[in-house]
Amino acid sequence: MIKMDKKLTAKIGPSILNADLSRLYEESQRLINNGADYLHLDVMDGHFVPNLTFGHPLVKCLRNKIKDTFFETHMMVSDPEKWIESMADSGVNQYTFHIEPVSDVPSICRKVKEAGMTVGVALKPGTPVDVVVDYVDLADMVLVMTVEPGFGGQKFMDTMLHKVQWLRKNFPTLDIEVDGGVGPNTIECCAKAGANMIVSGTAIIGAADQAKVIKSLRDSVNSVLHQS
């Protein structure tokens, strides 16, 4: 099983949401070749969020071609329990689900771990950050959304960074991910707030030099981590 380094380090995970999905393998491999630490796969069901993307069959096809890269699925779905086994079977490494539609978050966390995946819990902008205290010991990562989930290319919500600051203060060794509108213009404030896992879609996918952008994002985070 592919695992992330347990040491707190900068990890850049491009979101393939805005990639050319008809050339998903080629686009994904290019991101990896350009220095991506992991791939962030946005799964949307058209219910929890209004958009619809792809499911486990596509993820499995991608895994059949890309053997060794860490896959995180960001499950923007109304019933995350329903897809645990199929995503595990598809070769997913981290199963990140939204807590908002879930009545028993610890149960989902345990089932994800039992399926052999690490656990990410995701918070929409309107969700208070302190709700994670009830299950943070079961999670490997907390994702703070810096846009409303569902569509790429939205404006970064800097007011969400107080959540990142709170998490870093209270859980200093926790992997904290930010997703939504993150790029060269917003990375510094994300890094200073305490995020170490960076999801970036449009800023990387659309860049003329993907490797340069990925390195710049990583360097910005590492410069803060090395100060602490």
Active site residues: 42, 179
Angle between helices 210-225 and 24-33 (to 10 degrees): 50
Burial 191-204 (b: 16+ CB within 10 A, else e): bbbbbbbbbbbbbb
Tokens of 140: 């490997």
Tokens of 76: 């923007």
Q: How far is CA 197 from the centre of its chain?
A: 7
Q: For 40, left (φ over 0), alpha (ψ -120 to 50), or beta?
A: beta
